Structure 1
Amino acid sequence: MKKFTLLFICLLSIQAFSQKPVILISNKYEFQKKPNTYNINNMLKAVLVSNNYEVYFDDEPLPAEVANNRCDVLTGVLLDKSNMFMTKIKLQIKDCQNMILFETDEVKSKDKDIQAGFIETIRLLSPELKKFKPSIKKQDVVTIAKDETVSTSQKYQLVEVTNGYVLMDASLKAKLQIYKTTNPTVFIADKFGVKGVFTKLPNKGIFEYYMNDTLVVEEFLF
């Protein structure tokens, strides 16, 4: 049985961190000598925002809800295929495993001014982006009263590894990575980017971490 107990709060609502696809882009791609050359990167951000993306540069601080859910975050890679006669670019959208989910057709401009050519091609990416329909991971809104628990009938098992344990459910899906400390019953735990303390008891483990400044306690029965 798995229990969630929320301390020091009467009601808590947990929601998906974004209702828009979140994408990271670079402030300096491989073909650029300096950040934001020809205003390419700011233009790309504006085009993505206009297509309903939540956009961040990969060198800026990220909100905690984005940083803790990196496998729900896309990456945009701009490729320059230009030659001396024409500006040509395309955009790849990748997942957190660096797999290409979508690639635009090559967009082109014959404008002889380099900056004008890039601005035109960036704008031409907008209709291309409409061809891609990214899935958005949505979580149900859960409201929990103080001292109330949400339970399932699932049990878990600890699989020992070199530096600690992996907590797995009945389908052998990893739920927590647990790392040893100098105390044999206290561990550092990582739940898909959410880090906290795991206490190992004879027939259960307790995982404690903070969410939105609220202490959350999860119990895993073995």
Structure 2
Amino acid sequence: MKANSYVLLLIVLVTTASFSQSINDYKYVIVPAKFDFLKEKDQFRLSTNTKLMLQKYGFTSYLSTDDIPVEIRNNSCSYATAFIEENNNMFVTKIKIVLKDCQQRILFETEFGTSRIKKLAPAYTEALRMASKSFDSLHYKYNGSSNTTVVADIPVSKQAPKNATSTTATLISDTETFYFAQPTATGFQVIDNEPKVIMKLYNTSQKNVFQAVKGTINGTVLAKDGQWFFEYYENDTLVSERINLKF
């Protein structure tokens, strides 16, 4: 029995250290202006109070409706997102705060905070304050990590020609790596599993056709026969690169 207790303690310590190391990579946290379990934006000031609480513990936090710098908003892997989970009943208001990354992996979560106040506005305020005490033991401090690179929008100045002559189509299949498209103000950004931004997609007037920028290469990403292709010209040769892209 004692051995099992030691193992459990070790698991808790390792898990806590893992959370601390991960969350310290994030300077920014965005708080939804409306949580799923509430009917209105910032109802009971729960979103605003969460934003202010995170600032108290050293994060740079924004509401999703704030004027967020475009280089942050357009790169969802450059910030964590704060969620509130509730487990209320008719007698107790019970919530906890969960911070997640752009792939919905939990970076840190608090214990549940509770309140027995009957009026919901002060009840949520008290429960949030109780839940936030978990941050005291986190000792958060942003470490200046650059593992989530911020990529600003790059204007597409040259599009691959559609009717070029004397070119040979070359198909390069990439069936091993999966990529994920995340919405931006102008289209999507494509990330890999690290996650690292590898490509920017820009909306066009046609569905499933995007102007694309990958490093110094300008081209087009489009769907053909249920698969996605990145097409561009290289030395007057049309390159059609199949990519496993998930929207």
Place the TM-score, normalised by the shorter chain, in its bin. Answer: 0.5 to 0.7
Give the whole-Å Cα distance in 1 for the aligned partners of 2:94 and 2:171: 52
Residue 144 of structure 1: aligned partner:
none
Instruction: Give a deviation string over 1:89-115, Cα, whole Å, max 9, x none.
Output: 011111100111222111111122221
The CA deviation at 1:120 is 0.8
Residue 160 of structure 1: aligned partner:
172
Give the whole-Å Cα distance in 2 for the aligned partners of 1:25 and 1:175: 23
Give the whole-Å Cα distance in 2 for the aligned partners of 1:48 and 1:32: 20
Q: Which of 156, 174, 188 is the aligned partner of 2:212?
A: 188
Residue 12 of structure 1: aligned partner:
none
Q: Secondary structure of 1:77's match?
A: strand
Tell me: CA distance 1:174–1:56, structure 2 relative to 1, closer, same or farther (3 Å): closer
Residue 138 of structure 1: aligned partner:
145
Number of residue pairs aligned between Structure 1 and Structure 2: 150
Between the two structures, name the one with larger relative contact order (CA 8 Å, sep ≥ 6).
1
Asked if the contact 2:26/2:80 (under 8 Å) is kept, the reply is no
Gaps of 5+ in 1: 1-18, 140-157, 167-172, 180-186, 203-222
TM-score, normalization by structure 1: 0.55
Gaps of 5+ in 2: 1-24, 147-169, 180-194, 202-210, 220-231, 236-247
Give the counterpart letter for 2:97 in structure 1: L
The correspondence of residues 1-222 of structure 1 with structure 2, limited to 5 A, is: 21-132=27-138, 133=140, 136-139=143-146, 160=172, 176-177=198-199, 188-190=212-214, 197=218, 202=235
The CA deviation at 1:58 is 2.3
Instruction: Give a deviation string over 1:24-79, Cα, whole Å, max 9, x none.
Output: 11111111111111111111111111111111222444212212432121011101
Structure having the higher strand fraction is: 1
Asked if the contact 1:20/1:52 (under 8 Å) is kept, the reply is no
Asked if the contact 2:26/2:145 (under 8 Å) is kept, the reply is no
Give the counterpart letter for 1:56 in structure 2: Y
Q: Secondary structure of 1:83's match?
A: coil
Instruction: Give a deviation string over 1:143-171, Cα, whole Å, max 9, x none.
Output: xxxxxxxxxxxxxxx98359xxx9xxxxx
Give the counterpart letter for 2:98 in structure 1: Q
Asked if the contact 1:93/1:102 (under 8 Å) is kept, the reply is yes
The CA deviation at 1:175 is 7.4
The CA deviation at 1:196 is 8.0
Q: Secondary structure of 1:138's match?
A: coil
The CA deviation at 1:126 is 2.6
Structure having the higher helix fraction is: 2
Give the counterpart letter for 1:189 in structure 2: V
Q: Secondary structure of 1:78's match?
A: strand
Give the whole-Å Cα distance in 1 for the aligned partners of 2:34 and 2:125: 16
Identity of aligned residues (%): 22
Give the whole-Å Cα distance in 1 for the aligned partners of 2:116 and 2:81: 28
Give the whole-Å Cα distance in 2 for the aligned partners of 1:175 and 1:77: 24
Give the whole-Å Cα distance in 1 for the aligned partners of 2:197 and 2:104: 22
Tell me: CA distance 1:38–1:68, structure 2 relative to 1, closer, same or farther (3 Å): closer
Asked if the contact 1:189/1:197 (under 8 Å) is kept, the reply is yes
Asked if the contact 1:72/1:137 (under 8 Å) is kept, the reply is no
